[in-house]
Structure 1
Amino acid sequence: MLLIGNATVLTFDEETPIINNGAVLIEGIKIKEIGETEVLLQKYPNAVFKNARNKVLMPGLINTHTHLYSTFARGMNSKTDIPPQNFIEILEKLWWRLDNTLNEDDIYYSALFAILECIKNGVTTIFDHHASFNYIDGSLDIIAQAAMEAGIRANLCYEVSDRHGQTKSDASLKENERFIRKIQVSQNDKLGGMIGLHASFTLEDRTLNKASELADELHVPFHIHVAEGREDLQDSVKRGYMGVVDRLTKFKILRPHTLAAHGVHIKKEEIPMLKKSGAWVVHNPESNMGNAVGAAPIKDFFDHEILTGLGTDAYTHDMFESIKVANLLQKHQLGDPQAGWNEVYNMAFNNNMQIVSNLLGVEIGKIKENFRADLIIVDYIPPTPIEKDNVYSHILFGMNGGMVETVIIDGKIIMDDREVTILDYERIHRRTREQARRFWERF
């Protein structure tokens, strides 16, 4: 048993939201007991004790939309005479070329290094959306291998798109099917699978029909980009639909528990339709700002009780950063200093937890008895008291991923004193840089 004590424990449990000088006892993969440090020390004298004095102990963070394959884009020369001028050109000149260049080693090291960056920033669960049209069959197994080696929780999918032709589109659907069937018979509850789709404007009716039939057969939802750019909306209108939601609903893509990433250009008239579908939205504020596509109507989603989670779209692996920017973006967009406060908190600490519970089937996101022991220790010494009514203020204005000192997943210490313990981080870092250089030469 592992006992972490002398911490300010942020439980995210309404019954006892904060425990000063608190302790958490971990037995196996679950939280066995929480309470005051001295009480648990006396009760469990033989437990291994980890001292978290003057530090914050809280649940690991969850990222419900990211792209691990984007790792090698950092600092890369895009080799274009004219830089991208709009969202479509960003896709065509950068991302679609990148995902069509990846080979087996690229997939592995870009995933592994990105996962390690997630861990170093206190993220213990990710929902990844993968594309590698030069290497489709078996690509999700490569990412799953990286995830398991690093010890993180991961829900994976392959991005189906018709932009490279029907043959590769069909192969992408088969990769989703192969991986999901494999996951469904495995005993590994750290891995999950969904059917990945790129976006409505790169998907033809035939592919949407095949994907919908496959989802019915496998009993899984989708992970898809929805109305990220205005071009997605315009394409659906050109096809005779009200908008993207209208088209995807007609093909039963938007169904219970489907993750609809972005949602920036969903028409107001379509929001009740989205609610009725049972699909969920994942907000990615920094990516939307960086691509200049706009700001998602988060308040409208909440007003219609559409469950909305928070991701990063791989713009960062620091969910503390995404929380901060999501809060600021809503205030800026709506001209209201009160906007985004409750919504962003719920996205990061309630809704992401619900998404994991439903799609991975594990209870995480709270420090509560019998919940999985996915925890982080944050080296945060506040200038003011942390109390039950100001916990979120301290997270929002005081914490960042660089303060994360220890990461525990399923009761196992993955990072301790800012050093990744499960893998040789320095060796992987060196090998990743070598692989990135090779990738840049091929790009």
Structure 2
Amino acid sequence: ETMDKMAEANNGLTGFHIHVCEGMNDVWDSRLNRGGISPVERLLQHNLLGPDTMLGHCIHVTPAEMDIVKESGTWLVNNPESNMGNAVGCAPVLEFFRRGIPVCMGTDAYTHDMLESLKVFLIIQRHNAAMPNVGWCEAMTMLFENNAKMASKYFDRKLGVLEAGAAADVIVMDYKPFTPLSEENIDGHMLFGMMGKNCRTTIINGRVLYKDREFVGIDEEKINAWTMAESKKLWSTLNDRAY
């Protein structure tokens, strides 16, 4: 009923963001308690799939479900560190790519550093496949191409490129290479040499929001103090409910 109400209220306005088949409990719940079908089939029946919808995780999807995702044009988001931290498995991203399913790189809030996710994605996919020569192209495509394509669906400007008419989103990295750096090997430098902490300046849509490692026009100490106070209140509320 909730899904039907979501589809009706949305009425083509945008897509949906849903975590799917992250753990086997999701699979069993759908098959045993909710109609005897797979999670992806349920979403299809309730009109929640499509080119504007993002499905998070999709670790335990079947080949049939992959076909549904592919044919519906739905996008997937992989969150390698979150999956490892929750010990729910490794998503078959290499198979997604072989089937032509678009996959983005995410974090599921396990980290705020996308380059960290990039590094972890590559090693878990290679470890899972027992092959040390896979995953590189997929990793770079997810983070540097597909993320921008997916995000561009929700904003008025083109993202992920430096060209006229695109959003002026730029970061400046503080990085000293010890081997030659060029457009041919920049991926390798970002994978093995850089981390999020190397970012020294951030420009969003032409506005400088972070310059030389300091926020512009933002009282960082005030926000941090507010966050600390709110987190303590939330923790206290959770403790009260637990008892």
Tell me which interval the TM-score lies in, with the shorter structure as reference length: over 0.9
Higher RCO, 1 or 2 (CA under 8 Å, sep at least 6)?
1
Are the equivalent residues in 2 in contact too, given 1:356–1:362 (CA < 8 A)? no
Residue 431 (structure 1) shift? 2.2
**Alpha-carbon contact 1:379-1:404 (below 8 Å) kept:** yes
SS at 2:153 equivalent? helix
How many residue pairs align between the two structures?
A: 237
Match of 2:78 in 1: 283
Q: Over alpha carbons, which structure has the higher Rg?
A: 1
Deviation at 1:291, TM superposition (A): 0.4
CA contact (8 A) 1:310 1:352 kept: yes
How far off is 1:359 after superposition? 2.0
Match of 1:207 in 2: 2
Partner residue of 2:40 out of 241, 245, 250: 245
**2:14 alignment partner in structure 1:** 220
Percent of residue pairs identical: 41
Matches within 5 A, 1:117-196: none
2:55 counterpart (218, 240, 260): 260
Corresponding residue for residue 99 of structure 2: 304
TM-score, structure 2 length as denominator?
Answer: 0.93
Distance 1:243 1:339 in 2: 29
The letter of the residue matching 1:291 is N
Q: Aligned partners of 2:118, 2:134: CA distance in 1, in Å?
A: 13
Q: For 2:74 and 2:10, how far apart are their aligned partners in 1? A: 14
Alignment match of 1:338 (pick from 119, 122, 133): 133
Query: In the TM superposition, what whole-angstrom CA distance separates every residue of 1:183-211 from its partner, at most 9, and x where no partner exists?
Result: xxxxxxxxxxxxxxxxxxxxxxx111111
SS, match of residue 228 in structure 1 = coil
Q: CA deviation at 1:242?
A: 4.3
The separation in 2 between residues aligned to 1:422 and 1:335, in whole angstroms, is 49
CA distance in 2, matches of 1:241, 1:277: 21
Pick aligned residue for 1:367 from 162, 165, 171? 162
| 2:157–2:165 Cα contact (<8 Å) kept | no
Partner of 1:326: 121
> How far apart, in 1, do the equivalents of 2:36 and 2:142 lie?
30
- Measured after TM superposition, the shift of residue 407 of structure 1 is 0.4
1:274 aligns with 2:73: no
2:24 alignment counterpart: 230
1:422, 1:323 → 2: CA distance? 31
Pick aligned residue for 1:352 from 147, 170, 173: 147
| Distance of 2:224 and 2:15 partners within structure 1 | 35
Structure 1 letter corresponding to 2:30: S
SS of aligned partner of 1:260: strand
Equivalent AA in structure 1 for residue 96 of structure 2: F
Tell me by how many angstroms 1:235 deviates. 1.8
Work out the CA distance in 1 between the residues paired with 2:232 and 2:195: 30
- SS at the partner of 1:325? helix
Matches within 5 A, 1:45-84: none
Q: What is the one-letter code of the residue matched to 1:374?
A: D
Give the structure 2 partner of residue 417 of structure 1.
212
Work out the CA distance in 2 between the residues paired with 1:422 and 1:241.
54
Q: Is contact 1:283–1:309 with CA below 8 Å preserved after alignment?
A: yes
Q: Distance in 1 between matches of 2:15 and 2:120?
A: 28
1:374-393 alignment runs, 5 A limit: 374-393=169-188
SS at match of 1:359: coil
Partner SS state of residue 81, structure 2:
helix
TM-superposed deviation, 1:380: 0.5
**Partners of 2:109 and 2:68 in 1: CA distance:** 28
1:241–1:247 Cα contact (<8 Å) kept: no
C-alpha distance in 2 between matches for 1:245 and 1:383: 47
Query: Aligned with 1:326: secondary structure?
Result: helix
Q: Distance in 2 between matches of 1:340 and 1:306?
A: 15
Cα drift, residue 214 of structure 1? 1.8
Gaps of 5+ in 2: 239-243
Residue 439 of structure 1 deviates from its aligned partner by 2.0
TM-score after normalising by structure 1: 0.52
**AA partner of residue 233 (structure 1):** V
Aligned equivalents of 1:219, 1:433: Cα separation in 2: 37
Structure 1 residue aligned with 2:231:
436
For residues 361 and 310 of structure 1, what CA distance do their matches in structure 2 show?
22
Query: 2:241 — aligned with what?
Result: none
**Higher strand fraction: Structure 1 or Structure 2?**
1
CA distance in 2, matches of 1:411, 1:359: 18
Taking the aligned partners of 1:271 and 1:383, their CA distance within structure 2 comes to: 43
Amino acid at match of 1:270: E
Instruction: Map Cα deviations across residues 58-98 of structure 1 (whole Å, 9 max, x no partner).
Output: xxxxxxxxxxxxxxxxxxxxxxxxxxxxxxxxxxxxxxxxx
2: CA distance between counterparts of 1:389 and 1:379? 20
RMSD: 1.3
